[in-house]
Amino acid sequence: MTGPGETSGVLGVDSGGSGLRAVLVVKGGQDGRSTAPLESREPVRTGPRGIDAGHLVEQLVPMARQLMADAGITTLAAVTVGAAGYTSLGDSLRADLPSALARELGVRRLALAADGVTAYVGALRQRPGAVVAAGTGLIAIGTELTSWRRADGWGHLLGDNGGGAWIGRAGLDAALRAHDGRSGGSARLLARGEEIFGPADTWPGQLYPRTDRPALLASFAPEVAACADGDPVATDILAEAARHIADAAHAVCPTSGEVTGEVQVALTGGLFKMGDPLLVPLRAALTERLPYARQVAAAGDPLAGAVHIAADLAEDRLTLPREEDMLHVIAETLAPEALTPETPAP
Residues that bind its own copies in the complex, under the rule CB under 8 A: 87-89, 150-152, 154-159, 161, 169, 172-173, 176, 180-184, 201-205, 207-208, 213, 217, 247-248, 250-252
323 C-beta neighbours (distance < 10 Å), count: 13
CA separation (Å) from 35 to 21, 105, 107, 155, 304?
Answer: 12, 17, 18, 33, 12
83 vs 151, which CB is nearer to its own copies?
Answer: 151
125 vs 213, which CB is nearer to its own copies?
Answer: 213
240 C-beta neighbours (distance < 10 Å), count: 17
Q: How far is the CB of 57 from its own copies (least distance, A)?
A: 22
12 vs 50, which CB is nearer to its own copies?
Answer: 50
If DSSP codes are grouped into helix, strand and coil, which group holds residue 274?
Answer: helix
Residues with Cβ within 8 Å of 157's Cβ and at least 6 positions away in sequence, in order, are none
180 vs 258, which CB is nearer to its own copies?
Answer: 180
The helices-and-strands tally (H runs, E runs) of the chain is: 12, 14
Q: How far is the CB of 29 from its own copies (least distance, A)?
A: 46
Question: Are the beta carbons of 277 and 225 closer than 8 angstroms?
Answer: yes
Q: How far is the CB of 248 from its own copies (least distance, A)?
A: 6
CA angle (321 as vertex; 319, 324 as ends), nearest 5: 130
The whole-angstrom separation of Cα 72 and Cα 70 is: 6
12 vs 90, which CB is nearer to its own copies?
Answer: 90
The whole-angstrom separation of Cα 20 and Cα 15 is: 4
14 vs 325, which CB is nearer to its own copies?
Answer: 325
Q: How far is the CB of 208 from its own copies (least distance, A)?
A: 6
Question: Are the beta carbons of 178 and 154 closer than 8 angstroms?
Answer: no
Q: How far is the CB of 303 from its own copies (least distance, A)?
A: 24
The whole-angstrom separation of Cα 199 and Cα 22 is: 42
The whole-angstrom separation of Cα 108 and Cα 41 is: 27
Q: How far is the CB of 58 from its own copies (least distance, A)?
A: 22
260 class by beta-carbon count within 10 Å (0-12 exposed, 13-18 middle, 19+ buried): exposed
Q: How far is the CB of 198 from its own copies (least distance, A)?
A: 12
If DSSP codes are grouped into helix, strand and coil, which group holds residue 58?
Answer: helix
Q: How far is the CB of 191 from its own copies (least distance, A)?
A: 17
The whole-angstrom distance between residue 329's C-alpha and the CA centroid of its chain comes to: 19
The whole-angstrom separation of Cα 268 and Cα 287 is: 17
32 vs 155, which CB is nearer to its own copies?
Answer: 155
If DSSP codes are grouped into helix, strand and coil, which group holds residue 2?
Answer: coil
127 vs 169, which CB is nearer to its own copies?
Answer: 169
33 vs 45, which CB is nearer to its own copies?
Answer: 45
Q: How far is the CB of 184 from its own copies (least distance, A)?
A: 8
